[in-house]
Chain A
């Protein structure tokens, strides 16, 4: 009897191992692996979980999306890069507009071209109607992702500290900006939350604002392709000179070598009066684990001096499925992501700008963003982030060279020369 039971168990296990996808439990259910960093404490995690659950319920027995969560930008990127190298791409994943990531995946030829799906579905094609967004995710004529989030990045400022320093409104010229910084500095508050560690994010954003608002040459500089970029130019050197003043006089002592966490914390704890950052930071203003109670009421969001704003494509969703069956299922999910309710819920969480036609009346933007977005959309100077205009090695080099710029052991011209050499060699 024991032998018979054992034989049945073994046979059952063998059959279920051989036929995992088409088992007796779910006839022909297509399972999709969704590699995502929107898990754990990520502010968009609840949105993703609900979206996936709703989609799975709608497609019960046919398609099942399974979240393969990897917390943290860097860790998730490394997983995706490894998957691409091993040719085991996830069926669904976030495709970042950041050139250092996008180019690597685009060149790998492992991301599915969505053009044929757009051609086959007029409704879907009509919906994705932002040519700028589509161009961002197009590589050699192939559309590699459904554009999903666009961010307008300005400068957050602490209204209470500004008022204490006798500054009534956010500066609209760079001269006013430095005068305001002087007042804040004299009050004993660091005007800016900068950082030179990691990818020098907040410092690089200030550099983009300085370049982008310097005139047509600046805008042109930020539109130049990384391989053609020139650093020994007045537009870059002048911006670096101003950044040097910020790093040398108007930031916290611990900014040199600091990562994003330190810079953000300096702003959130009122040690620094301004920080350049995107809408994804809004959630932390009212998070009791990050900021003091009521901090969100103290924060204003302004355009950069010179009427400038960073208008950057942020993320798209893409598929790397190998089989037609899985590709079709993945595209069905991508289409689901573009439905009004799902998209409105997403935009309401992160405060991002839309990348395609949608019913914006359903979006409940955070209060800080509601006042800022109309200004941002109409800003005279709109430009991208520095990482989109330079090679990844240049961004990597910022962490090496900014400390020298800060302590003035490196002049702006030398800085530009060294950056040029690094860009040429890589």
Chain B
């Protein structure tokens, strides 16, 4: 009994520094952020209490819906294209064919390059005068299809998604790590029972990757919600707000000294993120063991 009490006391004591730091640097600012949304704050100094005006303004703001829609489409692409692609790459690499380590490194390379440099590379790929895409189109006689990919309203957002969706290296490596930790005996038994490689993947590997896949989905979606630098450099929300996201829109409002409205957008971003994390955790039953 005494040992239990001592253990509890030790746990509480050990947790205190983390809780204090988390509270000071995350919870308090977050509460402050929420509180400021109820005040007018369009100059250097904060103004008076305005209740839910900022929230009403947000729900009447067309750009907010475009940003939300883009965040949502980013999340869906993350769930249904980005992570499945990472899973496929991981499954392929897990076969450990000749040169798999080299390929794994190549897939991972984009994550080592800075986002800024990457954005500049993509701007050059999409450049209307000398960009790679337009040059190739002209070369193969499809010059009529040339356009300003990042600034055409129809292609701007798909072009932005394209700059990111194939960068699956990080998640492929995470999933691969999990695949390699699955006990060999399971595959050996399946092989004795006559299961093919594909069947083994579908009936053993993929079901056992539920936890890690869920984690990757949550990581990539929340990463997408926070993604800012690349968008800021490539289009800054243009043309006509087609490439706007909540994180970017929030920053633009800060630049316009609309602090409390920017914070309201921050609250929306927080709510969207929380909703997604909670749904994702439930959907993928995260934390429950399959072993």
Contact = CB atoms under 8 A, between A and B. Distances in A.
Contact of A253 (B128, B235, B256): B128
Given A108-B43, A403-B240, A404-B240, A254 B129 contact: yes
B258 A400 contact: no
DSSP class of B's interface residues: helix, strand, loop or mixed? loop
A108 B44 contact: yes
A165 interface: no
A366 interface: no
Contact of B128 (A197, A256, A393, A425): A256
Contacts of B44: 81, 84-85, 104-105, 107-108, 110
Contacts of B238: 196-197, 257, 399-400, 403
A252 B127 CA distance: 12
Interface stretch (B26-34, B67-75, B149-157, B272-280): B149-157
Given A257-B238, A396-B256, A400-B240, A107 B151 contact: no
B241 A257 contact: no
A393 B128 CA distance: 28
Q: Tell me the dominant secondary structure on chain A's binding face.
A: helix
B7 interface: no
B149 to A, nearest CB: 10
A103 to B, nearest CB: 8
A400 B256 contact: no
A257 B258 CA distance: 24
A104 B43 contact: yes
B129 A253 contact: yes
Contacts of A392: 256-257
A29 B127 CA distance: 56
Chain B: number of interface residues, binned into ranges: 20 to 34
Interface residues of A, number: 29
A104 B45 CA distance: 10
A68 to B, nearest CB: 19
A104 B44 CA distance: 7
Contacts of B45: 107-109
A114 interface: no
B153 A409 contact: yes
B148 interface: yes
B151 A256 contact: yes
A147 B163 CA distance: 47
B64 to A, nearest CB: 11
A375 interface: no
B128 A254 contact: yes
A143 to B, nearest CB: 19
Nearest to B148: A256
A410 interface: yes
Nearest to B244: A400
B257 A404 contact: no
A30 interface: no
A81 B258 CA distance: 13
Contacts of A107: 43-45
B237 interface: yes
Interface centre among B127, B152, B256, by most A CB within 10 Å?
Answer: B256
Interface in B130-166: 148, 150-153
Given A196-B238, A252-B129, A400-B239, A257 B148 contact: yes
A51 B127 CA distance: 44
Contact of B239 (A104, A403, A425, A426): A403
A404 B255 contact: no
11 contacts: A107-B45, A108-B43, A392-B256, A392-B257, A399-B237, A400-B238, A400-B240, A403-B238, A404-B153, A409-B153, A425-B57
